[in-house]
Amino acid sequence: MAQFLRDRRGRISPTDVGLPSGLSTRRTPGLRREELAALAGVSVDYYIRIEQGREKAPSDAVLGALAKALHLTPDEHTHLLGLADQAAGRTARRPPADPRPVTPGVHLLLESLRPSPAYVLDEINDLLAANPEALALMPGLDDWPPGRRNTIRYTFLHPTARTLFADWNRVAANSLAQLRTAQLTAPDRTAALVAEISEASAEFTTLWQRHEVRPKRAGSTDFQHPVIGRVTLANEALGLVGGSQRMLVYQAAPGTPEHDALVLLAMTGSGAPQT
């Protein structure tokens, strides 16, 4: 919580909140602690205790005032409340991750979506199930044993990912913004994954320290695929019953070059859905 607040304070300039920038050069970017405390209506000493990790149970009202002063998004505000619950040892506001396996109905759905690549992820992006096209879309992922298949691990540690994602920087940043949300539902597993990838990737560490928070939503991804070439695919993220699993589906309208590319991809991804 303290790290998150320090990071967000450093991103807000005085002019962003209607304060004069001043004549002197600031030693560090962002708002000063006393400026943020004034904007949030709390004492400077109290805010310093929060930011230093000595105050572990600030009220929701104080956190709401800080969120407003820091211009946090709704997702970031929710994340801050969750971090505060962890710091105070309170019960999480969201239920813990559901460990249930992927249901037969979901496996059937993966098959029915072909040739659209589709796969099921848990809260930290471990791959739980996928149709053949999904594995063909990410070359090399199925070379790893099932327990190692994780799309964030793939993005940062698999050499193919660097050229597969035409805008690798955007994909990498978005994946970590989504992973931040898992700190509230799977803190131990998130910490283990972060520790592992941080040892191998300085870029991961730099992006993780930004404290971006953004759940995965619908969008599009640009691929430079070794088989189907350059293609932009729309994607949908569908939450499954239980809350800890979500399905990602890449798709294109029939009759378009992108859909033709998916048909070609299907020819390379024969077989049944995998777990």
Annotate 168-234 with three-state secondary structure: HHHHHHHHHHHHHHCCCCCHHHHHHHHHHHHHHCHHHHHHHCCCCCCCCCCEEEEEEECCCEEEEEE
pLDDT digits (tens, 9 = 90+) for 23-42: 456 677 788 899 899 888 88
Q: What is the pLDDT of residues 50-61, one digit of tens each?
A: 999 888 888 888
pLDDT-based confidence at residue 160 (cuts at 50, 70, 90)? very high
Cα Rg of the chain (Å, integer): 21
Those residues whose C-beta lies under 8 Å from the C-beta of residue 134, and which sit 6 or more positions away, are 110, 117, 118, 119, 250, 269
Helix (H, G, I), strand (E, B) or coil at 11: helix
97, pLDDT greater than 60? no
DSSP one-letter string for 117-154: -EEEE-TT-BEEEE-HHHHHHSTTGGGS-GGG-BHHHH
DSSP state of 57: -
Q: Is the distance from CB of 50 to CB of 43 less than 8 angstroms? A: no
Beta-strand relationship, 229-239 and 246-251: antiparallel
Q: What is the pLDDT of residues 5-26, one digit of tens each?
A: 999 999 988 888 777 766 456 6
Find out whether 224 and 238 touch, Cβ atoms under 8 Å.
no
Please say whether the dihedral angle defined by the alpha carbons of residues 271, 272, 273 and 275, taken in this order, is positive or negative.
negative
In 10 A of CB 181, how many CB atoms?
A: 21
pLDDT of 218 = 87
